[in-house]
Structure 1
Amino acid sequence: MEFYFPTELGEQLAFCSAAFTALAGFIMMFAPGHSFRLLGLQAQEGRPEGYGEGRSMGGFYLGFGLSAIMLAQDWIYMALGASFAMAAFARIISILSDKGSNLVNYLLLVVQIALAALPLLYVFGFTQT
């Protein structure tokens, strides 16, 4: 079995979104403390559930990203893009409802929109012109 890297630009961008998702998941899974600090979160002292949730979410991202890379199917890329689109929508709700209007939330919103757009553009016909 050989490693598949797409030849079309649109699919390469979708692949990069999946690879970034897998990398972020790997970091969250194996370094939840650093991930929490980057996101401005903190696990309560003496309560390992916070780290367990961070590692679990990292495992989900890692699994989803690797699945998209290994299967390289339109429906998987659509699921990845739709998931990040809903995450971006939830972040917008948080910015508007939870007084979360800060630089980190806006930067993460831009990242989530980009991670949603790359696979969705490919699935819905973006081609290099």
Structure 2
Amino acid sequence: MDEQIEVKAMELYFPTELPEQLAYFGAVLLALVGLFQLVLPSSALRFAGFSVGQITPEGYGATRSHGGMQLGLALAALFLAQDWTYLALGVSVAVGLFGRLLSLMFDRGLTIRNTLLALLQMVIAGLPLGYVLGYF
């Protein structure tokens, strides 16, 4: 009894319509941010305004973990390419943006770096949400 097992390679789907391409691009941006935090936590922390010499191993672990979570969510949206995965990505980044906006208002966080990071989060959240909610 000869049984043949066929192995198929998973193909990465790239959308053909512009609105979904924008959502896809938002997921790619989040994946890059997550990968940056996962692979280079010191650089990510410095970029975020931390003094790296004062970061404990637990701080590096939290940074890598956060980056891995962002990367995983973005990869799920990229590989599954479903409205609900884009919605989950957009909502999660939007809630993070809400936290940053609170920091801008209450933590004396109105700095150029914080404002630019808020704008980046707004783009990353807005692209998939705009697609799912029908604005594009």
Answer whether contact 2:24 2:128 (CA < 8 A) is retained.
yes
Q: Over the residues paired in the alignment, what is the CA RMSD in angstroms?
A: 1.4
Question: What are structure 1's unaligned runs of at least 5 residues?
Answer: none
How far the C-alpha of 1:76 sits from its partner, in A, is: 0.8
Q: Sort the Cα spacing of 1:37 and 1:46 in 2 relative to 1 into closer, same or farther, 3 A.
A: closer
Answer whether contact 1:26 1:62 (CA < 8 A) is retained.
yes
Answer whether contact 2:46 2:52 (CA < 8 A) is retained.
no
How far the C-alpha of 1:45 sits from its partner, in A, is: 4.4
* Alignment-mate amino acid for residue 11 of structure 2: E
Answer whether contact 1:78 1:119 (CA < 8 A) is retained.
yes
* Alignment-mate amino acid for residue 8 of structure 1: E
Q: How many corresponding residue pairs?
A: 127
TM-score normalised to the size of structure 2? 0.88
Q: 2:68: which partner in 1?
A: 59
Q: 2:134: which partner in 1?
A: 125
Q: Which residue among 99, 105, 111 is the counterpart of 2:108?
A: 99
Q: Does 1:90 align with 2:80?
A: no
How far the C-alpha of 1:121 sits from its partner, in A, is: 0.8
Q: Choose 1 or 2 for highest CA Rg.
A: 2
Identity of aligned residues (%): 46
For each residue in 1:39-83, what CA deviation from the matched residue of structure 2 results, as whole angstroms up to 9, or x when unmatched?
111345472111111100011011011000001110110111111
Matches within 5 A, 1:10-21: 10-21=19-30
Q: Which residue among 30, 33, 36 is the counterpart of 2:45?
A: 36
TM-score normalised to the size of structure 1? 0.92
Large movers: runs of 4+ above 4 Å: 43-46
